[in-house]
A and B are shown apart, each in its own frame.
Chain A
Amino acid sequence: MSTQILMPALSPTMTEGKLARWLKKVGDDVRAGDVIAEIETDKATMEVEAVDEGKLARILVEEGTDGVAVNTPIAVLTADGEDAAAPAPPESARAVAAPAAPEPIRAAAPAAVAQPRSAAEPEWGETKPLTVREALRDAMAAEMRADDRVFLLGEEVAQYQGAYKISQGLLDEFGDRRVIDTPITEHGFTGMAVGAAMNGLRPIVEFMTFNFAMQAIDQILNSAAKTLYMSGGQMGCPIVFRGANGAASRVAAQHSQCYASWYAHCPGLKVVAPWSSADAKGLLRSAIRDPNPIIFLENEILYGQTFDCPTDADFTVPIGKAKIERTGEHVTIIAFSIMVGVALKAAETLAGQGISAEVINLRSLRPLDTATIVESVKKTSRVVCVEEGWPFAGIGAELTMQIVEHCFDWLDAPPVRVTGLDVPLPYAANLEKLALPQPDWIVDAVRKIV
């Protein structure tokens, strides 16, 4: 049986090349692995190895030929003992052409935005005051009691009881198999947790703060977020990455960054940012139960704040649902995490000036509850987006674009952003305060458009 040797593609982008030199001549024996020719492309000279064994029966493209297209037959190989003079078959049995490219189809994204709002969340009844810190601890404890696959690991989470005391008491209740102190090695322990999740466990990874998760961001994005897709749906990654995000107090630039827009950018992740104790408890329980990787952005300053929280043992908050914290008529203020409190203060001041502001607590950043935002903006026709992070390519930029796409005609003024200043956060008390959004900034922004 004779075999045609085809002009090979030697790189992902090669379409043609120069057949620079033949290193075998007609009649030579060829063994698999022998270099038979040299090919030049615009990038390099490459050697062509034989894949099959046999005798070189014919050379179809002479050396020195330029512009030889990939897949052109360049020589004929015959099996040992076969008549080398026999003509090659007109078409190689091996050369199965790539399927003709189908008509280009522009696959539309599933229409997932701006749907009518689903049914209101259930009323959870009785509440009691709870700090955000306690709410987070209670959520983890409840889910760990319910599911043995759930465990917590991170720096100082066990014996030290948590760097910010979030995991207080968990080691005592669950033991050191399920509450695990790690060395200070984010890249390694994050990868380890992601591997454990791929094999069906449900890790909660505590980053002391999200600043340190930058050491591990490759594992979060490339391993946790993309593997489900790359595996055709076989290999999920049920994991929660949680910890303090954004500015704390006087800890300077390396410890004071908001990562909301970094993670919200990425398909394959869900990103939530609670404000109140109810947000923290309800969202964390939903996050731990969710089969996907979740970025859970907490805030150090909020840890010690007290809010009323439902006492119902089944209480959860759905991921992907914003909450209207205060209803209003004249302007919509959209915020998340610690900025919800700042926005509510601003709304109080505005009320004294006769301006009724609606305050939306996003709670989830991906998926974003566009429906709630659009409904509110259609009512108020004015919007201010507030975030602690930097303005450029931030969450406010995305919110503004969503509003423009979905309810441009309802707007009576351009959307406005209130953000942290576009500088690394400074240490000095006065400078730090000047760099982070204050209630007055929001009041001023609203006054300009109402």
Chain B
Amino acid sequence: MAIADTKKRGKVATKPVDTDLLLKAYGDMLLIRRFEEKAGQLYGMGLIGGFCHLYIGQEAVVVGMQMALSQGDQVITSYRDHGHMLATGMDPKGVMAELTGRATGYSHGKGGSMHMFSKEKNFFGGHGIVGAQVSLGTGLAFSNWYRANDRVCVTYFGEGASNQGQVFESFNLAALMKLPCIYVIENNKYGMGTSVERASASRDLSKNASPWGTPGVQVDGMDVMAVHAAAETAVAHCRAGKGPYLLEVKTYRYRGHSMSDPGKYRTREEIQKMRSERDCIEQARHLLEAAGVDDAAIKKIDDDIKRRVQEAADFAQSSPEPDASELWTDILLEA
């Protein structure tokens, strides 16, 4: 099932382009792109260690979703999480400093790429066990239900995680209790090196929660405005107390699963084709140009982001490593 199959979905532009919104989306996506490119560089220089899963190519998913959320809504995701953190408004400096394992990182250097959190931004991680965040996100939605507020939780996971048992357990619980949880399957076609066709007997993951009566739709994840439109529908459904909602967002990662991925499971041409024909940032730029936004405004965004990312990289390299005493903190809270 090629991404191209869904190409037309996002192209049906019935409304005129909201240039302010699109400009914001463009800037938010570009920040993630440039941040991740920089993270890749720092990894290559040995300044970032361990696992580092880059989000390059998938930026439209989290940016389109986030634009439909309000203050107080929760976000939780897996280990490919840098983009989600930046989209929720977390400081690129603190994120990059965590990647380099420094005291100024969001987790004081104790979490790394896969484990960052921000209570202030309602970002609940950053989880390294495939699928575990789906049950946790269901619990965040449960807390909204328990408190009888109108907040929603967006729970992201990959098409690889979508086969985990606890995902289906969560679908059942959320539908049973009518929890305000938006499940977003970021289908980038490959769970590590295994294509979705080789891992899932289902050919339409948006129907994965249909046995429990949960609505689900497929969305073109390379078109940020299409994601945004789908997100608004999902958010309205959950806020109205109608229970969970499932989005299968068809996207693509340009880089390897992690940094040490030889990428032999797909062709170079496949990647280049997506990049040249379907790139979410290029699409947004063309729409902005077509809408008459002048080059200077776009250039200003580009320059501003370049500066912010460089500042984050400088901060992440100049910050001190955590003190040895940090080993023994944050294990238990004082009772």
**CB within 8 Å of B: which residues of A?**
6-12, 14, 32-33, 35, 43-47, 49, 51, 70-71, 94-96, 98-99, 102, 105, 107, 109-110, 151, 177, 182-183, 185, 187-201, 218-219, 222-223, 227-236, 267-268, 270, 286, 289-292, 319
Q: A194-B139, A195-B137 are in contact. Are A183 and B47 (CB under 8 A)?
A: no
- Residue of A198, A232, A270, A290 most packed against chain B (CB within 10 A): A232
Give CA–CA (A286, B255) in the complex, Å: 49
Chain B residues within an 8 Å CB radius of A194? 135-136, 139
**CB within 8 Å of A: which residues of B?**
37, 40-41, 43-47, 49-51, 74, 76, 105-111, 115-119, 124-129, 132, 134-143, 146, 165-166, 169-170, 172-173, 176, 254-255, 259-260, 262-263, 268, 271-272, 275, 317, 321, 324-325, 327-335
Min Cβ gap A60→B in Å is 16
Known: A196-B139, A229-B331, A232-B109. 19 other contacts (CB 8 A): A10-B44, A12-B50, A110-B328, A177-B146, A188-B172, A191-B134, A192-B136, A193-B142, A196-B142, A196-B143, A199-B140, A199-B143, A219-B132, A227-B115, A228-B331, A230-B107, A230-B115, A231-B106, A232-B111
| Closest chain B residue, CB of each to CB of A48 | B44
- Cβ–Cβ contact B46 & A268, under 8 A: no
- Cβ–Cβ contact B328 & A107, under 8 A: yes
Min Cβ gap A298→B in Å is 21
Give CA–CA (A6, B136) in the complex, Å: 40
Chain A residues within an 8 Å CB radius of B115? 227, 230-231
Q: Which 10 A-B pairs have the closest CB atoms?
A: A195-B139, A191-B135, A188-B169, A8-B44, A11-B260, A232-B108, A195-B136, A232-B107, A230-B115, A233-B330
Give CA–CA (A291, B106) in the complex, Å: 21
- Cβ–Cβ contact B41 & A51, under 8 A: yes
- Cβ–Cβ contact A11 & B142, under 8 A: no
Give CA–CA (A47, B272) in the complex, Å: 14
Min Cβ gap B202→A in Å is 19
- Cβ–Cβ contact A182 & B124, under 8 A: no
Give CA–CA (A49, B44) in the complex, Å: 11
Q: A102-B321, A227-B125, A233-B330 are in contact. Are A188 and B170 (CB under 8 A)?
A: yes
Chain B residues within an 8 Å CB radius of A268? 331-332
Chain B residues within an 8 Å CB radius of A6? 44-45
| Closest chain B residue, CB of each to CB of A101 | B321
Chain A residues within an 8 Å CB radius of B119? 234-235
Chain A residues within an 8 Å CB radius of B172? 183, 185, 188
Min Cβ gap A293→B in Å is 9
Q: A229-B110, A231-B117 are in contact. Are A192 and B135 (CB under 8 A)?
A: yes
Q: A102-B321, A110-B328, A228-B331 are in contact. Are A192 and B45 (CB under 8 A)?
A: no
